[in-house]
Structure 1
Amino acid sequence: MEQDTEQALGSYRVGAATITKIPELALEGIDAALLYPEYDSEAGAEEVRKLGPGSVDRQTGLLRQSVHAWLVTTPDRIILVDTASGNDKERPGLAVLHHLNEPFLERLSAAGVAPGDVDLVLLTHIHADHAGWNTSKLGERWIPTFPNARYVFSARERAYNAALAVATSSDAAIRAEASLGPMARLPLPGVFEDSVVPILEAGLAREIVVDGSEVEEGFSFFPSPGHSIDHASIGFRSEGEYALFWGDVLHHPLQVARPDWNSTYCEFPQAATASRQWALNHAAETGALVLTTHFAETSAGRVRRDGSAFSWQFV
Structure 2
Amino acid sequence: MSKHRVGNVDINKVVDFEQSLWRAEDLFPDVTPGMLEEGRATLPPGFIHPEEDLVYLSFHSYVLRSGGRTILVDTCVGNCKERRSLPSWNMLRTPFLENLAAVCVRPEDVDIVMSTHLHADHVGWNTRLLDGRWVPTFPNARYVMERTEFEHFRDLHATHSAVPVTRGAFADSVLPVVDSGQAVLVEMNHVLEGIRGDGIWLEPSVGHSPGHVCVHVGTGRDQAILSGDVIHSPIQFTHPDLCSAADFDRDGSRRSRRALMERLADTGSLLLTSHFPSPTAGRLSRQGDGYAFRFSD
- Following superposition, the deviation at residue 14 of structure 1 comes to 1.2
In 2, the alpha carbon distance for the partners of 1:298 and 1:40 equals 24
- The unaligned stretches of length 5 or more in structure 2 are none
- Provide the residue aligned with 1:52 in structure 2: 44
- Provide the residue aligned with 2:179 in structure 1: 201
Match of residue 86, structure 2, among 91, 94, 102: 94
- The unaligned stretches of length 5 or more in structure 1 are 1-8, 170-184
- Provide the residue aligned with 1:297 in structure 2: 278
- Following superposition, the deviation at residue 28 of structure 1 comes to 3.7
- Provide the residue aligned with 1:214 in structure 2: 191
- Following superposition, the deviation at residue 32 of structure 1 comes to 1.9
Percent identity among equivalent residues?
37
In 1, the alpha carbon distance for the partners of 2:140 and 2:6 equals 25
- Following superposition, the deviation at residue 39 of structure 1 comes to 1.1
Greater alpha carbon shift after TM alignment, 285-294 vs 62-71: 285-294
TM-align CA RMSD: 2.0
In 1, the alpha carbon distance for the partners of 2:33 and 2:59 equals 25
Match of residue 253, structure 2, among 245, 264, 272: 272
- Cα shift readout 1:282-305 (whole Å, capped 9, x = no counterpart): 222643211111011121111111
TM-score normalised per structure 2: 0.92
In 1, the alpha carbon distance for the partners of 2:55 and 2:135 equals 35
2:113, 2:141 within 8 Å by CA — same for their partners in 1?
Answer: yes
1:284, 1:305 within 8 Å by CA — same for their partners in 2?
Answer: yes
Is 1:18 the counterpart of 2:10 in the alignment? yes
In 2, the alpha carbon distance for the partners of 1:267 and 1:107 equals 31
- Provide the residue aligned with 1:176 in structure 2: none
Amino acid at match of 2:123: A
- Provide the residue aligned with 2:265 in structure 1: 284
- Provide the residue aligned with 2:168 in structure 1: 190
- Cα shift readout 1:181-210 (whole Å, capped 9, x = no counterpart): xxxx99523111111111111111111111
Match of residue 225, structure 1, among 186, 202, 206: 206
- Following superposition, the deviation at residue 43 of structure 1 comes to 3.7
- Cα shift readout 1:93-150 (whole Å, capped 9, x = no counterpart): 1111111111100110111110000111111000101011111111221111111111
In 1, the alpha carbon distance for the partners of 2:238 and 2:137 equals 38
Size of the aligned set, in residue pairs, is 291
In 2, the alpha carbon distance for the partners of 1:255 and 1:159 equals 29
Match of residue 61, structure 2, among 62, 65, 69: 69
Pairing 1:139-150 to 2, within 5 Å after superposition: 139-150=131-142
In 1, the alpha carbon distance for the partners of 2:164 and 2:130 equals 28
- Provide the residue aligned with 1:114 in structure 2: 106
Amino acid at match of 1:188: T
In 1, the alpha carbon distance for the partners of 2:214 and 2:19 equals 23
- Cα shift readout 1:137-171 (whole Å, capped 9, x = no counterpart): 112211111111111111111111111111179xx
Runs of 4+ in 1 over 3 A off after TM superposition: none
Greater alpha carbon shift after TM alignment, 301-310 vs 243-252: 301-310
In 2, the alpha carbon distance for the partners of 1:168 and 1:97 equals 23
